[in-house]
Structure 1
């Protein structure tokens, strides 16, 4: 299987508020990934940041299509 997404030590801050801190994981072709957590835990922030990074890469159209079929709330 091929690795289709790799997130390595992602941190995202809004001012002094740290929404994400040192997040790392990989997604392999054929895997299903689920983000679980309470409100304000950073789930949407992480997904939006991954999607934003994918928008600048031409070689990941299939991944973008798969993400577009998911639900971001």
Structure 2
């Protein structure tokens, strides 16, 4: 059971890191694109994914803590 939780957290945390790096990259590329709306759309989409992953990790962590107590 613990190994399953560790794998779940590792996958979601790595996805969170990738989404954060993608947000940083798209923010830096806003000036580089001829059409900055593309980079801004990417930034907004990645920020939505980032918020979803952060909420999923936080809720799973709270459920795990409440189950252990």
Give the TM-score taking structure 1 as reference length.
0.32
**Structure whose residues are more often helix by fraction:** 2
Give the TM-score taking structure 2 as reference length.
0.33
Computing the radius of gyration over CA atoms, which structure comes out larger, 1 or 2? Answer: 2
Q: Whose relative contact order is higher, 1 or 2, with alpha carbons under 8 Å and at least 6 apart?
A: 2
